[in-house]
Structure 1
Amino acid sequence: MKNAFLTLFAIAALSSCAKRPDAIAPTAFPVETYANLECQEINTSLTTEQGTLAALSAAQSSAANTDAVGVLLLGIPVASLTDGDKEGMIAVSKGKVQALEAARIRKGC
């Protein structure tokens, strides 16, 4: 019984850990959002969003590392419990990057 409890606790703790940035799927973002932009505006927005994604990804990697250590030492995903998980923001940012890249291709930029 004790082993079953420990196993269930470990599974629960690990399932709530912050994901690695590369494991986060992008949110669907309509390309039409950027249809009215000129090439210069698309390129500027893309550069800005790529910077945002890089910063969020760095924070998410740190949160995932913190969670791994927290689960190992304390049995709890510390970063996920303290708003360190940026999964939603990364998904949106990835979706924006994909939409901007598609818009750039459509415009021939």
Structure 2
Amino acid sequence: MKFTYAIAALPFLAACAQSPASIQPVSMGNAFAAMPCQRVQTDLTAERQSLAALESKQKGAVVGDAVGVFLIGVPVSSLTGNDRAGAIAASKGKILALEARAASCN
């Protein structure tokens, strides 16, 4: 009987928000190759702050999904649009591309 409940719960658990650490960056390639070196550090600092805010919201979504699945069997945060995985992946990719550009400025 427990096995049946576990199998029934899989679709709900699969829809749950991912933890920020498990989200992989999106490749940005050479998107910032032409950016002036003076602007790279400013944009990099701003993007790191943006990522920190997104990760904080994502952690809340993870907790909300866990509570929702436990109480009512539905990942509430993911279904209401609070999952920020796509934005986090893009931000991580942007940071990697900006860091690569910053390294070529030195």
Q: Distance in 2 between matches of 1:44 and 1:3?
A: 54
Number of corresponding residues: 106
* RMSD over aligned Cα atoms: 1.3
| Residue equivalent to 2:25 | 26
* 1:9-24 equivalence runs, <5 A: 9-24=8-23
Q: Normalising by structure 2, what TM-score?
A: 0.93
Q: Normalising by structure 1, what TM-score?
A: 0.90
- Deviations 1:19-75 (CA, angstroms, capped at 9, x unpaired): 000000000011x22122222200001011111111110000000000001111111
Q: Distance in 1 between matches of 2:22 and 2:62?
A: 11
| Residue equivalent to 2:71 | 73
Q: Distance in 2 between matches of 1:61 and 1:26?
A: 17
Task: Name the % identity.
Answer: 42
Unaligned runs of 5+ in 2: none
Q: Distance in 2 between matches of 1:35 and 1:56?
A: 25
- Could you tell me which amino acid in structure 2 is paired with residue 24 of structure 1? I
Equivalent of 1:47 in 42, 45, 48 = 45
Deviation at 1:9, TM superposition (A): 2.0
| Residue equivalent to 2:81 | 83
DSSP-derived class of the 2:31 partner: helix
- Is 1:64 aligned to 2:66, yes or no? no
| Residue equivalent to 1:103 | 101
| Residue equivalent to 1:37 | 35
Q: Distance in 2 between matches of 1:106 and 1:7?
A: 51
Runs of 4+ in 1 over 3 A off after TM superposition: 2-5
- Could you tell me which amino acid in structure 1 is paired with residue 18 of structure 2? K
